[in-house]
Amino acid sequence: MVKLTGVSGERIQTAAQCMAAEAAGSDNIRVFGMVHGIQDMGKFTFLTLRVRDGLIQCVVGNENDILPDVKKESAVEITGERVSEARAKHGFEIHIREIRILSVPKEDMPVNINKRGLNVGTETDLTYRPATLRGAAKRAAFRLQAGLAAGFRDFLGHNGFTEIFSPKIVAHGAEGGANIFKLDYFGKKAFLAQSPQFYKQTMVPVYGRVFEIGPVFRAEKHDTARHLNEYVSVDFEMGFIDSFYDVMNMETAMLRHTFAFLREQYADVLEELRLELPSVKEIPTVRFAQAKQMVAERYGRKIKDPYDLEPEEERLIGELFLETENSDFVFVTHYPSKKRPFYAMDDPEDPKFTLSFDLLYKGMEITTGGQRIHDYDAQTTKMLAKGLDPGDFESYLMLHKYGCPPHGGLGLGLERLCMKLLDKSNIRETSLFPRDTQRLTP
Amino acid sequence: MVKLTGVSGERIQTAAQCMAAEAAGSDNIRVFGMVHGIQDMGKFTFLTLRVRDGLIQCVVGNENDILPDVKKESAVEITGERVSEARAKHGFEIHIREIRILSVPKEDMPVNINKRGLNVGTETDLTYRPATLRGAAKRAAFRLQAGLAAGFRDFLGHNGFTEIFSPKIVAHGAEGGANIFKLDYFGKKAFLAQSPQFYKQTMVPVYGRVFEIGPVFRAEKHDTARHLNEYVSVDFEMGFIDSFYDVMNMETAMLRHTFAFLREQYADVLEELRLELPSVKEIPTVRFAQAKQMVAERYGRKIKDPYDLEPEEERLIGELFLETENSDFVFVTHYPSKKRPFYAMDDPEDPKFTLSFDLLYKGMEITTGGQRIHDYDAQTTKMLAKGLDPGDFESYLMLHKYGCPPHGGLGLGLERLCMKLLDKSNIRETSLFPRDTQRLTP
């Protein structure tokens, strides 16, 4: 009987393992990877091997005649000598002795992924994502995304937040409005969760602080460069806050920690992306109404919608605070009650506004958050005022009915943060397989 | 202008912080928490305060008359003296000087959560989940779930797996069959992903090893104690495998690491649950056909379905291997091709069977995995043999068309693993807000 012990014969699949192998005295190594590029130099050929942590330069003299069958994007096992080479990326190259072909692609790649920066339009990129993702810049961009998620979890775990897994098929939308996907659920009407809002609030009396990083769904009908119909939301909710500034302070600390985490643990990715992460020392705040006024005055704009910020206004607020406060980040606070969901707590000093905020980064909203209503009567009263029937929200209202502490939280769009960190102009650049009104594949 | 520095006035919200406060010389502390229980002892009253990391015993003499307004599940701020008390859980109790009430519940709790083990039926539990989750056993059970996810990520991160976020709204089901939720996607027919199968495979040539922990959706029409219509799947996929035993070895190592991680970092949770985690030294394997035969002979059963295991057969296989191999875990390998999805690689030695496996734990399937087809022609041929049109899977097949290494992977059901670890008889016990054919709320 085969019994599994958890130990497989280790196969070298990274540049780091190659380097460790040399340190251990082995100069005859076997490496597994994908053929990323082949360049015939006349007397010899460079073969670039794509491994988990990057690209390895391999060389073989053409007299050896061992390369003719090797195609780009073949999976191969290379046996050879690891030789120091200062000009190569990792300080070594492999002199190939033997290549074993493990798989051969059916067709050539539809795009050239060897150039720095993919030289194709967005449509082509999106259509061929399974192929274009193999390029170095895209690999690094989505490693950055993974690193951000890991950094957020690291921070939240160390600050007493418990991870939760809340359902995505739900009976009611949390954010209101028509931008919600419907589905038939065994004959009942159901929806895809626009956010884990109800559930993370429900968990506050249970754990005090909770978080979830997962998909959310918005049936936005307009295609823009900053909207996705499905995205990854980083959500947290925290109890026993003194004010909604506690939530903003927590986000400030989370961003600072996460960028430090990336500098330490994802240095190779930042180098590949030539990315200098922002230092988050302090983040200025401005009230919604004041921000609107400032931008109108400074840039000679008319205020069209007094209840919400237009994308162009967000951009100008970002510009203004970069200029005056030298900050790429700015918290816009006290959004009008009219445009915030029913669970937002009104400002007792002026109930036309809420104790809520958006975080703008480089002129774009990346987070929405605020203090929530914790009192049952206050919550049902606000629901009625907004034309909602509390009877529809019975299970959510158990939170308030059976008691909960003052609390607040936020949701951060992971793709938007990546997009602005990388100065991309289209959010589809930072979603692996984006969903927009036109795209269900790949 | 308010500027946020990331630092809020620290509010004590845990027993650990209380203990640290004493160490720092403070015996007059302020703690924030929920009133978990109140017990009048005549001359004095015990108040149990629920904080993030457990329960704190607080005491006040009844002559002080400061408790009358305090109700269970009120959020409070308690000021008092931290006094050593060997009989109290954390080795101290708080002698209350002052209570400030932060919120008051509208109604009394619908169930008593103070008893060890909730004394209500499943239906009541599920209906009142927002309340029942506040009990100690449930809090611990879902902390275990969070800890398992953290442990898996820790293992996978250290073994070169990159986290991915794949779309849940998809154009095609990955697992076939009718148990898939449909939705209207801007006039197009779309589905909820039954697994991230296509996407994790697609990412193998990109990163070599990838993982995702996220929701998957199955429109199973029958209500059983072991099925959910939405669950959390722990998925990984790895390239350059030598055989599907590499995948099983990786899972064996992952379980071993994760249980060690929990013993170290979640000791309080394991103690609360009185849970001794299994030691995973080695896991026996048995071929599907052989397992079926063994169970038929040993327990005098007739083989009804030669292509799949009945739940009762899984149970008996578990029983058998516990008896003969002293193992709660057993890998059943080489499932019939007929019942495995089109992407499963057939065994070259006998193509009626696949290089696939299930992991049974305590007689229940918790994982399905195997080696996948990596060759384009082999994949399209198998699709056609299964009556599928390769044209429907164009974007998935880019993986094979443009080249991918031999690879395999698995999906592990998080709730099932929790269920069996905790010896629960119903999977709804280990899903925060379970979705079954009857339940969309809470």
Query: What CATH code is carried by the domain that includes residue A396?
Result: 3.30.930.10
Contact with chain B for residue A131, Cβ under 8 A: yes
Cα separations in angstroms, B165 against A390, B26, B176, B198 = 35, 46, 22, 12
Q: Do residues A160 and A261 both lie within one domain? A: yes
Last residue of a domain, one of B83, B103, B123: B103
Q: Looking at beta carbons, which residues of chain A come within 8 Å of B219? A: 186
User: Quick check: A25 pLDDT over 70?
Assistant: no
* Whether the Cβ atoms of residue B130 and residue A202 lie closer than 8 Å to each other: yes
Q: Do residues A206 and A283 both lie within one domain? A: yes
- Give per-residue pLDDT as tens, A171-213: 988 777 789 999 999 999 999 999 999 999 999 999 999 999 9
Rounded Cα distance between A264 and A267, Å, is 6
Q: Do residues A400 and A256 both lie within one domain? A: yes
Q: Do residues B165 and B278 both lie within one domain? A: yes
Among the partner-chain residues A33, A102, A160, the one whose CB lies closest to the CB of B52 is A160
- Give per-residue pLDDT as tens, A408-423: 999 999 999 999 999 9
User: Quick check: A101 pLDDT over 90?
Assistant: yes
- Least CA distance to A7: which residue of chain B? B249
Tokens of A317: 């607020």
Whether residue B127 is contained in a domain is answered as no
Residues 200-229 of B with CB under 8 A from A: 202-203, 205-209, 214-215, 217, 219, 221, 229
Share of residues in chain A with pLDDT > 70 (%): 98
Q: Do residues A199 and A287 both lie within one domain? A: yes
Rounded Cα distance between B345 and B367, Å, is 17
Q: Do residues A24 and A154 both lie within one domain? A: no
Whether residue B4 is contained in a domain is answered as no
Q: Do residues B79 and B143 both lie within one domain? A: no
Tokens of B149: 């996810």
Q: Do residues B156 and B74 both lie within one domain? A: no
Q: Which long-range contacts (CB under 8 A, 24 or more apart) does B344-349 make?
A: B344/B370, B344/B371, B344/B372, B344/B373, B345/B244, B345/B370, B345/B371, B345/B372, B345/B373, B345/B374, B345/B408, B346/B382
- Give per-residue pLDDT as tens, A221-260: 988 999 999 999 999 999 999 999 999 999 999 999 999 9
Rounded Cα distance between B343 and B371, Å, is 9
Q: Which of A220, A250, A402, A412 to mutate: most B Cβ within 10 Å? A: A402
CATH code for position A98: 2.40.50.140
User: Quick check: A354 pLDDT over 90?
Assistant: yes
Among the partner-chain residues A51, A246, A404, the one whose CB lies closest to the CB of B208 is A51
Q: Looking at beta carbons, which residues of chain A come within 8 Å of B132? A: none
| pLDDT on residue A48 | 96
Among the partner-chain residues B72, B103, B188, the one whose CB lies closest to the CB of A404 is B103
Q: Looking at beta carbons, which residues of chain A come within 8 Å of B171? A: 440-441
Whether residue B109 is contained in a domain is answered as no
Whether residue B95 is contained in a domain is answered as yes
| pLDDT on residue A22 | 65
Helix, strand, coil percent content, chain A, rounded in steps of 5: 35, 30, 35
- Least CA distance to B442: which residue of chain A? A395
Q: Looking at beta carbons, which residues of chain B come within 8 Å of A186? A: 219, 221, 437-438
| pLDDT on residue B17 | 92
Mean of the per-residue pLDDT values of chain A: 94
Last residue of a domain, one of A103, A121, A155: A103
pLDDT band at A23 (very low <50, low <70, confident <90, very high): low
Last residue of a domain, one of A84, A103, A122: A103
Residue A182 Cα, gap to closest chain B Cα (Å): 7
Q: Quote the domain boundaries for residue A33.
A: 15-103
Residue B410's nearest CA partner among B176, B219, B178, B196 is B196
Rounded Cα distance between B147 and B269, Å, is 9
Least confident of A96-100, A262-266, B333-337: A96-100
Q: Do residues B290 and B426 both lie within one domain? A: yes
How many domains does the structure of chain A reveal?
2
| pLDDT on residue A372 | 98
Whether residue B215 is contained in a domain is answered as yes
Residue A50 Cα, gap to closest chain B Cα (Å): 9
Q: Looking at beta carbons, which residues of chain A come within 8 Å of B435? A: 167, 169
Instruction: Assign A283 to helix, strand or coil.
Output: strand
Whether residue A114 is contained in a domain is answered as no
Name residues of chain B where pLDDT drops below 50. Answer: none
Q: Do residues A269 and A327 both lie within one domain? A: yes
Say what the pTM is: 0.97
Helical segments of A167-239, H only: 197-202, 204-207
Q: What is residue A9's DSSP assignment?
A: P
Q: Looking at beta carbons, which residues of chain B come within 8 Å of A252? A: 4-6
| pLDDT on residue B24 | 62
Residue B202's nearest CA partner among B398, B406, B420, B372 is B398
Whether residue B437 is contained in a domain is answered as no
Q: Do residues B314 and B421 both lie within one domain? A: yes
Q: Do residues B271 and B381 both lie within one domain? A: yes
Whether residue A109 is contained in a domain is answered as no
